[in-house]
A and B are shown apart, each in its own frame.
Chain A
């Protein structure tokens, strides 16, 4: 085994994020209290720089560093989603941190490190790399979930996330160890090669695939591995909840697709049907329980479970079409959900207190602009035609139908119908209830406006003109 040739361009975005993250952390003590939000802008610039460096990275396709690291269209598209998520989250957090007097710039470092972990996950061609990326992401997110140290709910959120997250990581490790034992390698392509030869103990391979699936299902929060999600999302600081509901989920799916479609296609008969059941259960549970949630963060948590179910439908299709639909959906979902959480951040105000759906009563007459934007996100999450959510669901159900998963598509449509109920209840509150609040202390600073504009424009763009992005996801899905 010769030492790998070094190719900086192939890992440039990850490198940029890590360096900027370290700079922000080191610079913190030297920056005055007033200037601390400048570090936020530095972190934002870092994500933009990383986004730019996707261009040189995309020109270095192929496998690098002893086949540990892979650069392909799939990777590039996902990196784009991750960096977009990070950028929007930074914009949402700046005002939040100032408001909550949590102005500690290491928050941005953690966010950048988490994002670097996600980039690693998308680019890894090797289970050890996946594990490292996953842990970099997870450890940073555990801390972010507990960032409001003085708040008991935030503590509880971090503790639950941490305990259950490590619990599931152990399953993941066990799976990797067994597959290593069965095939003698942890490289995805090598595993696939080994599985094609007949000498492999199929039960050992199945067991390890099952263990890996369990851990990844935990990360993307599909039923019955979703149980941690509502509590953790409810307790975490709102911008962090927004990040957690899209970032780790997208990264988890990135790995899920890559591992199962690259390494385990030969035992598809086993995991395909398992995903079918998981997807059905997730869509039903997520949507049905969301209906009775009075707390909007918790409602959006169950909604995020439901949306993971839709992506799982695309996974169950096990086709290029499915992967492309899933990629599209992940982008669409990230935009609309981050937008929704940005709105929740704005309305919750001091100490994240006002997070009940009834706290939105009368927003439509007091702040029509904000209400209109939130309505857009809610309609998109519900999948009303003309919005990103509709286009995304449409592609997913089409992929499902083409793979002859008729029942799964029907369950998907029925649960979507159910989901209208709780998304619309927010709109009902805003437009059809008497305001009991003047919303006079709702402040909207530049960075938040910026975040809202990006998410709203993206939601509309993907809804009205999805074709270009869909073409991109189609190339990204073909391997």
Chain B
């Protein structure tokens, strides 16, 4: 029955994609929502079946057919259900279902309604394929598929030029990551001569078997780990490949919630957790994962401090939270990472959907400086947003507190620079709390900063939008109790639940209970401090931020301009190219500006293409000359 889970959304996508134009909106909605709902039910059933089995019978492997068989090489089209993928399918279909319901209300007036749902269902299909795959190649199929759907959905409002550009940017940046992933798969096959998870992991014990010169076994595994992480960093928006995610907010808000917060962007974390067995043999790669994760967490959070677009704040927050997940992975605590992934899926989906509700009610305005006082007009949106804010800020006992703390505790216990990574994490946590409360206050409290001329009829959203919000809010409150650590009297269900699947590394030097409690208090304190500061800045002394931004002008503008990363990309990659080949490149830069094409490498390629095409002069005799030149070179080579 496992195959039903992805097939149902695929059917929905096919029906809506092919016949959608002729169907009524009600029918389209029922097909799209119904297929995901059914898929969710099947997923629950499969999940429960899996739980009832003894551990020795896990994972459940189902091979449907041999996809590619070539000599010794074999790739099955098969699915694998264990605790890790079981958790993921519940998140994907569950959150996916809620977002489908929400979309039905949110997108009701859009043109191309059927197209939207066809893409969204197709996305769910690919995401489930990615999660359920039992080998790297099939995972890559899902990986490419979700990328394509995300690209189509970001550019859904393609009449907006910025939307189309954002789609392109996401696509190009992800290519860099995918390149790493492909190379990793090639290297895995080269080393182990197989690509299914079980087969690869079972051979890790025999280090001598795959000691490929000149790297040695650890070298090979480190290379594989780093390449996989390059793929993960592209998909999960880690430094420096995060640049596409904030731009991706050009897509419809439910898409941002589903793809760019709850599911697709976590695929990288899932992939790293899935490959835990490899990473445990490659400490160097793990360290890189942890450092990049921690850096991304604080870097993105600091950009989030000053953004003024409600969705962009949430986008940077997503990047930062993903950083936490990688930090936990890098510390060898894959279960903690997956725990945070789960709670984050709830509260970040909630925040995005609530933000969507705000934008919906405000008639499309996204600038938080033009909001304010919405608490009275949109009571339910306000309440749910408040829950989301408390959860992400890490205020106990909401979900974010437990999961973030699990990640930080893991970082503290990491042998390499653990304390430093922990400190970075805590500072980032206070940033998080600050920008979230700032967002909350500016949006819902104070007096309205909009006039009736700008916004005609500010209103609360319909039920199809509010109900998913309430369900997600409930999840954000209770989900954390799945992982209450022993020190607080819980028994950390999620940790135990995931350990068999996640190949958890044994941490030797666990700190004492007292230390753990102290650290918990510190991080809670940091969160409260952030919240308090936001209160001080935006409620008590609203003039303060203005003054501060004047005094600390340079730092403020650096952060406001997102550390100029986009500009650095442009100048490091593009400028030298332009310098290098003066004349014809100018032509291309012009054409490029008009096209509004992509950045960096895209420009380099286009530039070279524009130059090289002049090889093709159109004159037969020149062509004969090229052929002769090539011929002479070949002959010279042969006679060397």
Contact = CB atoms under 8 A, between A and B. Distances in A.
B140 A385 contact: yes
Contacts of A274: 634, 637-638
Given A213-B634, A291-B605, A218 B70 contact: no
A365 B17 CA distance: 10
Nearest to B178: A417
B564 interface: no
B626 A227 contact: yes
A413 B17 contact: no
A464 B155 CA distance: 29
A270 B140 CA distance: 38
Contacts of B446: none
A210 B630 CA distance: 11
Contacts of B171: 420, 424
A446 interface: no
Contacts of B618: 231
Interface string B142-178: 0010001000100100110000100110011001001
Given A164-B624, A231-B616, A285-B612, A291 B637 contact: no
A391 interface: yes
B341 interface: no
A466 B635 contact: no
A224 B635 contact: no
A368 B637 contact: no
B-side interface mostly? helix
A248 to B, nearest CB: 16
B167 A432 contact: yes
A411 B155 CA distance: 30
A49 to B, nearest CB: 33
Interface in A219-236: 223-225, 227-228, 230-231
A288 interface: yes
Nearest to A394: B68
A293 B613 CA distance: 9
Contact of B602 (A206, A409, A421, A466): A421
A213 B632 CA distance: 12
A399 to B, nearest CB: 10
A297 interface: no
B178 A225 contact: no
A368 B17 CA distance: 8
Given A289-B609, A432-B158, A466 B68 contact: yes
Interface string B49-84: 000000000000000011111110100010000000
B137 interface: yes
B639 A207 contact: yes
Contacts of B21: 368
Given A164-B627, A214-B634, A470 B609 contact: no
Contact of B637 (A164, A270, A398): A270
Nearest to B111: A365
Contacts of B65: 465
A180 interface: no
B112 interface: yes
Contact of A291 (B67, B609, B627): B609
Interface in B615-632: 615-616, 618, 620, 622-624, 626-627, 629-631
A464 B70 contact: no
B128 to A, nearest CB: 15
A295 to B, nearest CB: 11
Given A207-B635, A365-B112, A420-B175, A292 B186 contact: no
Contact of B68 (A271, A292, A433, A467): A467
Nearest to B637: A274
Contacts of A395: 70
A464 B67 contact: yes
A167 interface: yes
A409 B186 contact: yes
A386 B612 contact: no
Contacts of A45: none
Q: Which of A224, A285, A432 has the most CB of B within 10 A?
A: A432
Interface in B168-198: 168, 171-172, 175, 178-179, 182-183, 186, 189-190
Given A224-B629, A288-B608, A291-B606, A210 B638 contact: yes
A37 interface: no
A292 B609 contact: yes
Contact of A224 (B66, B626, B640): B626
Contacts, number: 163
Q: Which of A167, A206, A418, A470 has the most CB of B within 10 A?
A: A418
Contacts of B635: 207, 210-211, 214
A428 interface: yes
Q: Which of A293, A410, A417 has the most CB of B within 10 A?
A: A417
Interface residues of A, number: 71
Contact of A163 (B66, B175, B588, B620): B620
A288 B167 contact: no
Interface string A382-420: 001110000100110110010000000110011001101
A292 B638 CA distance: 34
A198 interface: no
A209 interface: yes
A175 to B, nearest CB: 10
B214 to A, nearest CB: 13
B141 interface: yes
A314 interface: no
B610 A292 contact: yes
B613 A160 contact: no
A171 interface: yes
Contacts of A385: 137, 140-141, 144
B18 interface: yes
A368 B630 contact: no
A321 B71 contact: yes
A292 B613 contact: yes
A273 interface: yes
A247 to B, nearest CB: 21
Contacts of A213: 634, 638
A431 interface: yes
Contact of B639 (A203, A291, A368, A394): A203
Q: Which of A213, A273, A291, A369 has the most CB of B within 10 A?
A: A291
A230 B616 contact: yes
A20 to B, nearest CB: 35
B191 to A, nearest CB: 11
A387 B167 CA distance: 23
Nearest to B69: A467
Interface string B350-362: 0000000000000
Q: Which of A203, A277, A368 has the most CB of B within 10 A?
A: A368
15 contacts: A211-B631, A225-B631, A227-B616, A270-B640, A274-B637, A277-B637, A289-B609, A290-B609, A291-B605, A365-B115, A384-B148, A385-B137, A401-B189, A417-B179, A421-B172
**In the A-B complex, the 5 residue pairs with the closest CB atoms:** A432-B158, A224-B630, A292-B609, A210-B638, A385-B141
Given A225-B631, A398-B73, A470-B69, 5 more contacts: A223-B630, A273-B637, A368-B18, A410-B183, A413-B186
Interface of A: 159-160, 163-164, 167-168, 171, 203, 206-207, 209-211, 213-214, 217-218, 223-225, 227-228, 230-231, 270-271, 273-274, 277, 285, 288-293, 321, 365, 368-369, 372, 384-386, 391, 394-395, 397-398, 401, 409-410, 413-414, 417-418, 420-421, 424, 428, 431-434, 464-467, 470-471, 474
Interface of B: 17-18, 21, 65-71, 73, 77, 112, 115, 137, 140-141, 144, 148, 152, 155, 158-159, 164, 167-168, 171-172, 175, 178-179, 182-183, 186, 189-190, 588, 598, 602, 605-606, 608-610, 612-613, 615-616, 618, 620, 622-624, 626-627, 629-631, 633-635, 637-640
